[in-house]
Structures are given as structure tokens and as C-alpha cells.
Amino acid sequence: MSHQTKSDYESLLKRLRGQLNNTTRKEASRLEIPSPQIIWIGQRTIFRNFMEFPKALRRDPEKLLLYLNKELASAGYIAGERVIFLGRKEPSSFGTLIDRYVKEYVICSVCGSPDTRTEKNKKLGFLLCEACGARSSIKGNYA
Ligand SMILES: [Zn+2]
């Protein structure tokens, strides 16, 4: 009986360890991306929680804004936590653009980790992965 109990205990332990490992791996590569809050006031589009994004993605707000302005063909500017764009921009386009930005300038293309930082070398931009050490080139000056 005691033998039975011991092996049950061991298999339980093994299962728990497995779960623990899975959890740890998920935690490490999870990226919490907020939902963009977009409202129209007159002929302007207000990105109300813009500043949450550079914080969550660990990127320069000016660079992220540069990207949005390029994609939206606009000249939005930062006002406190918000960005104000002239003209009525489609609210749903912001989520799409942020997703695209994350794929191109935040997520490591080798291992999929969001734990990356950027580096400039002779005017070329690189994405450095803190998880796997990969170094990949990135386009433009948006990160
Ligand atoms: Zn990586």
C-alpha cells in the first residue's frame, strides 16, 4: 500500500510540475494590449488612451505616433494621454494598426516573445529579443 501511495504522489508531483512549467512559459510571453478608445469630436478623432500603448509595448510614444500618422496619412499630435487626429478616422482601424505594429516592431519573429527592445546601428533598426537573443532588422524609423 505504501508503495502505491508513493508512486501516486510522484505522478501527482510530476503533473503539477508540468502545469507549473506551462504557466511560467505563458506568463513570460504574454502581452497585455489595451483596447483603443476612439471618439469623434466634431471633425477630430481622439485616441483617448494612446499613452497606454507605448507603456504596454515599451516603445517610444513619438515613434508609435509616427507609425499611426503614416498609416492614417494624418498629422495627429499628443495632448496629455491622448492623441488628436484631424478628420474622422475609422475607430476600428486603430486596433488593426496597433496589431500590425506589434507584429512588426514588438514581437520576436523567431520565438514569438514580446520581450524585445530596439537598437539603432548605422541608421538601421534592429529588434533584439531578450528571450532567445535573436536580432532581426526592422523597417523604417517607427520603433
Ligand atoms: Zn526571440
How far, in Å, is the centroid of ligand 1 from the Cα of 36?
A: 27
User: Do residues 47 and 85 lie in contact, with contact meaning Cβ atoms separated by under 8 Å?
Assistant: yes
How far, in Å, is the centroid of ligand 1 from the Cα of 62?
A: 25
Fold observed for domain 38-138: Defensin A-like (3.30.30)
Segment 94-113 mean pLDDT = 96
Residue with more model confidence, 65 or 139:
65
pLDDT value at position 4? Answer: 60
> What are the tens digits of pLDDT across the range 65-88?
999 999 999 999 999 999 999 999
In angstroms, the CA 124 to CA 135 distance is 12
Quote the pTM value: 0.78
How far, in Å, is the centroid of ligand 1 from the Cα of 83?
A: 31
* DSSP secondary structure of 56-109: HHT--HHHHHHHHHHHHT---EEETTEEEEES---HHHHHHHHHHHHHHHTS-T
How far, in Å, is the centroid of ligand 1 from the Cα of 114?
A: 8
Dig out the grid coordinates for 125 from the structure: 533598426
> What are the tens digits of pLDDT across the range 51-62?
999 999 999 999
